[in-house]
Structure 1
């Protein structure tokens, strides 16, 4: 069965009415036939029919056993960390999402959960960092924002050999491009705010588990902590998923063209995109991803934050905003936006320099987007470099 056909086939027709669209069950509670006797739903924090459709769909998309929908991507990450106890250690990818770094260091470290950050592009670095306290390996691949690629199969083997949980944040790839459970991951998380919903109109998170035992633990945490996704937002995510495979394909096609163009610009030092043969671990990306994604990052030869700021402030089609994965193109300056919570020296160590710009390539025409970047680079050069006699 073809990918898009299979995806649409996953979304059920409503058994009660025959509705082709999943109904929104906007209710807080459910009438019971007798105490404890109900139709599988008693209270909407514990379960909701609309949310359940999304959660089952998420599990199918990732080849997992169980899916769980949360009120944000960070709420999803939080639920996974709650599997751990004081004294446990996380090994995490060094080029980590700023929100995850903030949660790990400013919330959970004070409860006795330590984090060791490694360059996971070499799986041996992960193996070498393992200690008796290590209970979770946390990988983003591709990473945010420098698009580093980790060998998921190799890390999955390492995790299994050491009886350590292996979690992959699959937000940047999406389950259309990559299914980490197929490579040995125990848990997959998503900021469904991004590609999965795809329209920049909601905040949501997903956790998918590879087995029922982990699923039961995440379910308990979801219900006990209460950071559930509401029925209307669940419905919006389902609606976004209906076009997910079509959107991912177009995002990737546009991004490939733009990444190739950016390599020709004389202001730019490095272009980070897994689809480029020059990208470190391009071969691994090619082996484990169907598409290379819609996010590109690049930095400048001068590492001039003022120049980078001028570039992102002068685009017209690329809107200056945080987030990514929507149908409309976005740009941001991570050092002042998405990764501002990470200390400068740590940012630089993982490649997030002050001049790094991140692009979320949308579904506009690729040539129009290239023209927009070209004019922004020209304007920035005139307004910043010439004004300061830098050229």
Structure 2
């Protein structure tokens, strides 16, 4: 395959975090080339199917090098689609990399390369001593947009606890996703064009209780999705794939609740069942994707502050790595423990991957977006419990 430059620009216009999201949304394989007059050697980030798998700067390689590029505030970039001949050394998800890179930059642990120093902008501050990058989704499939709605800055789009099944995709602007605790609205995520608002659990039931509040951060235009068509497509999926979608939705709700609790009282939870060996250890090489048929499983992150429970899984939930998604959980970043009565069956990952590839653009984008939200919220949760 001949190398093809498909994207060029200025780092002052698109920073590294935005570039990683943009390349990730296209699922491209190739090399992101970085040049700066403040750095002697050029930088390169290697992508496979939209995910950074290695980085280099001179003789140095790996994740630490990739993080250093977040400090390149001035320079030029180009992305070329080309086959890779590098050995993958980076296993973190895109959003884990972006959030950790921004945290290191905020904490002064990354050297800034450029004439202008870094100052966190007011619109990215979360009010709790951190920053919330704008999470952008894949390219929008307008075939499933049946109407458009406009919201002004500060206007509530959906309220936590209210009922509703409408689903939207962000066309323009940014939206704050918040959890409500009493009178306080706790910011969890900030989402931009291509991201979805609404729960995929709405496909399986006539009524859905909103689990979070969405507020327009600026002028926002939303596309109302063709829910009847998407519901019909969802109903045509195999039971294993439908359960996978619903399980992802439940994971997202749980880690979002944990992140909200972490902002109020950042202490590890008690009672995590870690007294025996994990079913899947953190960093293990298990490639099996399992479905729970009885009992409970617990996704646990071991930290210096104590064991942190990410989510509790039940019947029909999945356990293990999903080959076509990266949610930043087991086995790369967390371990799995189980109750004594836990029973699981192995899922056919090849069949699921084929079914995923056949999804319509909108439904596939929604699944990808949910995985990104899980990864991003989990990374924010880790950072909260470190403080």
Query: Bigger relative contact order, structure 1 or 2, given CA contacts below 8 A and separation 6+?
Result: 1
Same fold by TM-score greater than 0.5: no
Normalising by structure 2, we get a TM-score of 0.29
Which structure shows the higher helix fraction? 1
Which structure shows the higher strand fraction? 2
